[in-house]
Structure 1
Amino acid sequence: MAGTFSQIYIQVVFAVKGRQSLIHTSWEEELYKYINGIITNKEQKLLAINGMPDHVHFLIGMRPSCCLSDLVREIKKSSTAFVNEKKFCKHKFQWQQGYGAFSYSHSALDKVISYIQNQKKHHSKRTFQDEYKAFLTSYQIEYKDEYLFEWIED
């Protein structure tokens, strides 16, 4: 019987609106579990998730039938509602528009998973803005600064 076989690994990165540092360590794990539930319910596989107070990274194994933009839209919409309903923030929580999506081979997974798991250590040396631009440059993605996330001056 013929079948469809695939290996699609995507790292997704997106930021809190205005790049505000709203994701607090006291509830970030609950947020990540909630995002994992969305990914699982959409029949995708979460391989790693972590972030900083102003952004999140996750690596998924995708089925070819999945539309990445629909998945990210659902994650952002549902997780925004979750954070606001739980009243984790004093102010309204919202993700910025847009996201980065970067593909990887199976042989790179351990390195990418380690990178995501070590976000806090990694960002002690590099800002999110520098990290994100490095991704775009590494993947040879042309961009204009005015179309990137809204950057708050550090």
Structure 2
Amino acid sequence: MPHVKVYIHFVWSTKYREPFLETPELRKKMWDHIRKNSMDKGIHIDFINGYKDHCHCLVSLGSDQTLSKIMRMIKGESSHWINKHVFEKPLFQWQEEYYAVSVSQSILNKVRDYIKNQEIHHSHKSFDEEENEMIEKFGFVKYSKS
């Protein structure tokens, strides 16, 4: 059995960056659902949080998992779930694109804190500003078609 320790910090947004996840309670339900469903599918989510229009997720990759497979499973199932259980008609969608960057074990706690503090972070910074900061600071690479 292989021993793999590869951490990826994913970030993805709602379609057209619509602020569907308006309340902290709704966001908590979404993150809890993603965490539970991912666990059922063998995806290890180390930390998850976000804001009204996007999600940050720190994932420990399994030996047979790919970035696109993980994103497809998380985003597809969570949008289906929220449309079935929260909204009266299918409205919610995630954007196709996502960002992903590998994370060194030496900065895992720094990344967890960054993800944990999204509410505070976005009280003074837009998603566009955060996006540019992540590209410059963390070397995020944008992937599409999850």
TM range (shorter): 0.7 to 0.9
Q: Offset of 1:38 from its aligned partner?
A: 2.7
Once residues 141 and 82 of structure 2 are traced to their aligned partners in structure 1, the CA distance between those partners, rounded to angstroms, is 33
Q: Offset of 1:140 from its aligned partner?
A: 4.4
Q: Which stretch of structure 1 is more off in the superposition, 32-41 or 130-139?
A: 130-139
Which residue is equivalent to 1:45? 44
SS of the residue 1:21 aligns to: coil
Once residues 33 and 55 of structure 2 are traced to their aligned partners in structure 1, the CA distance between those partners, rounded to angstroms, is 13
Q: Offset of 1:126 from its aligned partner?
A: 1.6
Once residues 55 and 127 of structure 1 are traced to their aligned partners in structure 2, the CA distance between those partners, rounded to angstroms, is 11
How many matched pairs? 143
CA gap of 1:74–1:89, structure 2 versus 1, over 3 A, is same
Q: Which stretch of structure 1 is more off in the superposition, 70-79 or 83-92?
A: 83-92
SS of the residue 1:135 aligns to: helix
Gaps of 5+ in 1: 149-154
Q: Is the 8 A contact 1:6 1:63 kept in 2?
A: yes
Once residues 85 and 35 of structure 1 are traced to their aligned partners in structure 2, the CA distance between those partners, rounded to angstroms, is 14
Which residue is equivalent to 1:151? none
Instruction: Mark the structure with the bigger radius of gyration.
Output: 1
SS of the residue 1:116 aligns to: helix
Letter in 2 for 1:18: Y
CA gap of 1:142–1:15, structure 2 versus 1, over 3 A, is closer
Letter in 2 for 1:113: R
Once residues 74 and 142 of structure 1 are traced to their aligned partners in structure 2, the CA distance between those partners, rounded to angstroms, is 20
- TM-score (ref. length: structure 2): 0.87
Letter in 2 for 1:13: V
Letter in 2 for 1:66: Q
Which residue is equivalent to 1:12? 10
CA gap of 1:66–1:98, structure 2 versus 1, over 3 A, is same
Q: Is the 8 A contact 2:7 2:102 kept in 1?
A: yes
Q: Offset of 1:36 from its aligned partner?
A: 0.7
Q: Is the 8 A contact 1:52 1:119 kept in 2?
A: yes
Once residues 27 and 34 of structure 1 are traced to their aligned partners in structure 2, the CA distance between those partners, rounded to angstroms, is 11
Which residue is equivalent to 2:115? 116
Quick one: percent identity of the two aligned structures? 32
Q: Please report the RMSD computed on the Cα atoms of aligned residues, expressed in angstroms.
A: 2.2
Deviations 1:108-154 (A, max 9, x none): 111100110100101122211111122222344677xxx99xxxxxx
CA gap of 1:86–1:105, structure 2 versus 1, over 3 A, is same
Which residue is equivalent to 1:33? 32
Once residues 61 and 19 of structure 2 are traced to their aligned partners in structure 1, the CA distance between those partners, rounded to angstroms, is 29
Q: Is the 8 A contact 1:27 1:88 kept in 2?
A: no
